[in-house]
């Protein structure tokens, strides 16, 4: 005997239909909400970034002194803005340095050009005075040589900055080079009654570009002797430290300050803002610094407690591969 129990499913079907419609409606509402709300949320979140972009678009070479305000920015953007402010500061200093370089370069070339013009005008006015004309031509030749040296240094600085300076590493004896390239300055040191002291080990060999290193040493010796006061002293030391060779050139100079050290290696910098010194161009230490960077040499200037001015070179014994 089989018993069959049946029940009307209309009620269940209605419940399932309502459940389906409710679920479908909820899904549709969620999709509509996502479509409408997500862009607004994203746009709201990107609003500080848009402000940052708009502000960046207003910055040019005349407004490098402006800085981003980090107060209203979310935490995620603040590190980026701090780096941007640091970049603006570096750019501001670079532009200021270039402006100063342009002005100093114009002043540096204006003086000899004016001298040449004056000499030629006077020589043309009295062409029959052979002695004066000969003297004027001699002075003009010296002025042109000075201009040529200035331009040559500027070209060398440009090659260093562009990374196209030719470098030929080879073994070099630093002690022998120091003695060799000091010799031309011995006479001037004697004339100024400067006491000289050398503290050199028996030998110090490095692998570097001898021509470039000789230029660095020449500029250091030139700077030490020419700016050392009469009756002062110059000390040249050479030390071996681990894998480095340390060269220091020290001279008495009471006129420098700590603030001057920040400008010591700048192109055409002179302590006198009026640039009344027509003999020195202010390029010697700039060239030494540029050449030192080409050879991976660490160069630094400092004022010692004794008041002496000292420039130190840290030369790697083995020439590194510079990329």
Q: How does pLDDT run across 4-35, given as a tens digit for each residue? A: 666 667 777 778 788 888 888 888 888 888 88
Query: In terms of pTM, does the model score above 0.85?
Result: no
CA distances from 13 to 6, 9, 25 (A): 15, 6, 18
Task: Say if CB 157 and CB 290 are below 8 A apart.
Answer: yes
Q: How does pLDDT run across 202-230, given as a tens digit for each residue? A: 778 889 988 899 999 999 999 899 889 99
Q: Which residue has the higher pLDDT, 252 or 45?
A: 252
- In the chain the beta strands, taken as DSSP E runs, fall at 170-173, 195-199, 205-208, 233-241, 244-252, 298-303, 308-316
Q: How does pLDDT run across 112-134, given as a tens digit for each residue? A: 788 788 888 888 888 777 787 78
- Per-residue model confidence (pLDDT) at position 323: 39
- Per-residue model confidence (pLDDT) at position 186: 92
Confidence of residue 104 (pLDDT cuts 50, 70, 90): low
Confidence of residue 310 (pLDDT cuts 50, 70, 90): very high
Domains of the chain: 78-162 (1.10.287), 170-316 (3.30.565.10)
Sequence-distant (6+) residues with CB within 8 A of 75 are none
What percent of the chain is modeled with pLDDT above 90? 19
* 164 exposure class (CB count in 10 Å sphere: 0-12, 13-18, 19+): exposed
Task: Say if CB 171 and CB 208 are below 8 A apart.
Answer: no
Q: For residues 64 and 263, what is the distance between their CA atoms, to the nearest angstrom?
A: 21
Of 71-80, 217-226, 237-246, give the lowest mean pLDDT range. Answer: 71-80
Q: Which residues of 240-266 are buried (b: 16+ CB within 10 A; e: fewer)?
A: eeeebbbbbbbbbbeebeeeeeeebbb
- Looking at residue 208, the DSSP 8-state letter turns out to be E
């Amino acid at each position: 005997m089989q018993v069959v129990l049946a029940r009307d499913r209309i009620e269940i079907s209605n419940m399932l239909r309502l459940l389906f419609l409710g679920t479908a409606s909820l899904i549709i509402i969620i999709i509509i909400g996502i479509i409408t709300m997500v862009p607004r949320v994203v746009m709201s979140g990107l609003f500080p970034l848009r402000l940052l972009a708009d502000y960046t678009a207003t910055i040019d070479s005349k407004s490098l002194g402006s800085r981003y305000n980090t107060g209203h920015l979310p935490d995620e953007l603040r590190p980026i803005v701090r780096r941007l402010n640091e970049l603006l500061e570096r750019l501001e200093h670079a532009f200021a340095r270039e402006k100063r370089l342009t002005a100093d370069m114009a002043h540096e070339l204006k003086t000899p050009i004016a001298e040449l013009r004056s000499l030629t005008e006077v020589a043309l006015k009295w062409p029959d005075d052979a002695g004066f004309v000969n003297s004027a031509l001699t002075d003009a030749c010296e002025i042109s040589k000075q201009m040529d040296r200035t331009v040559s240094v500027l070209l060398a600085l440009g090659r260093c900055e562009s990374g196209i300076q030719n470098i030929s590493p080879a073994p070099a004896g630093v002690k022998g080079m120091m003695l060799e390239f000091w010799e031309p300055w011995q006479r001037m040191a004697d004339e100024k009654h400067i006491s000289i002291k050398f503290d050199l080990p028996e030998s110090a060999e490095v692998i570097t570009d001898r021509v470039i290193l000789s230029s660095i040493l020449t500029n250091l010796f030139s700077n030490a002797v020419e700016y050392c006061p009469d009756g002062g002293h110059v000390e040249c030391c050479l030390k071996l430290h681990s894998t480095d060779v340390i060269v220091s050139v020290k001279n008495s100079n009471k006129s420098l300050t700590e603030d001057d050290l920040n400008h010591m290696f700048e192109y055409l910098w002179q302590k006198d803002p009026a640039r009344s010194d027509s003999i020195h161009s202010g390029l010697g230490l700039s060239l030494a610094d540029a050449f030192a960077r080409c050879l991976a040499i660490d160069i630094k200037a400092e004022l010692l407690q004794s008041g002496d001015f000292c420039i130190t070179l840290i030369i790697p014994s083995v020439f590194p591969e510079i990329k």
